[in-house]
Amino acid sequence: MKRRDFLKTSVAAGMGLSLFPKVEGILAQETSTIKPAHPVVISSANGERAVKRAMKFLQNGTDPLDAVISGVNIVEDDPDDITVGYGGLPNEEGEVELDSCVMHGPTHNAGAVAAIQKIKNPSKVAKLVMERTDHVLLVGQGALRFAKAHGFKEEDLLTERSRKIWLYWKETLNKEDDWFPSQLNDLDEEVKKYFHLGGTINCCAVNTNGDLAGVTTTSGLSFKIPGRVGDSPIIGAGLYVDNQVGAAGSTGRGEANLKNLASFMVVEFMRNGKSPVDACLAACQRIVDHTILPALLNEDGRPNFNVKFYAINKKGDYGSAAIYSGGTFWIADAKGARLEEMAYIFKKSE
């Protein structure tokens, strides 16, 4: 070996000695042998039925991913929930477009679909993408064709209620166009509150083996530009699972989460020793710190939107946090299923 090459090798080895102990220390944190004595399921505020069903499946030994998907299927199938699945509010052209992703801790595998139309359960299609392809994300017509190839039937996802809400939005959008709103004022108040509604369900679980999984599914921002994709089908944004550490998911303004890959950050914060609630708070603070565009700030310089996170770690500890106060989440564990309040960065002004 030439002297020059020997010196390069020696320097590299020396750098390795100073860097690798830190890396090994992090890895040691990841491989904790502590496991929960009882399954734990966490979900967003619309997830009461989801956590209860997922818990029953976990208690019967079902794989955690199958359990949480089964839980959110209840909401996807519910025509009265206008933010997820069947009956979800459409894009600006009146078409319901759905997004979903899943992630399986034991295999560190993931699947997702985005902007898929006419399929009521995108979470099931996302799982098939994970299991039956070498891809992670399928979108639009490609996702629809894939779903149909696996036996899914096309359905009209626009219910009469969601159609009326969309139509009212379209009729009142511009006073100069040729669309006139209904003169039935009793309908107006019913639908006004749904303008630009964003809604999503996230559900994550850990079983008694310490295995984790998660799913996020949504119809996205109401009246969005066709083809708009938020954070919900994006691994690292709407959901992230590391079986050695924990799982985290999100609801709220998807664009803010996409710019920060905050669900991934929640898991990384837990990897480095933060509790689930502190990890969620840290992710919220990261978004606050990075929100500098004037159009996204209110009068006091704070974000004019909210983002919420939900997390559990391998030990079964859980937590949730939002930028603003007032949020709630569902948790199911050995004490049963219950609604709890989120931690937050800022108190919402009355």
- Residue that has been written with the tokens 């009068």 in this structure: 299
Kindly report the number of other CB atoms within 10 A of residue 19's CB atom.
10
Query: Cα 267 to chain center, whole Å?
Result: 13
CB 131 within 8 A of CB 112: no
The verdict on whether 200 is a catalytic residue reads: yes
Q: Work out whether strand 328-333 and strand 343-346 pair parallel, antiparallel, or are unpaired.
A: unpaired
Question: Distance (Å, rounded) from C-alpha 3 to C-alpha 257?
Answer: 51
- Going through the chain in order, the beta strands assigned E by DSSP cover 40-44, 98-104, 109-116, 137-139, 200-206, 212-218, 239-242, 246-252, 307-313, 318-324, 328-333, 336-341, 343-346
Q: Is 156 helix (H, G, I), strand (E, B) or coil?
A: coil
Catalytic residue among 83, 107, 159, 200: 200
Catalytic residues: 200
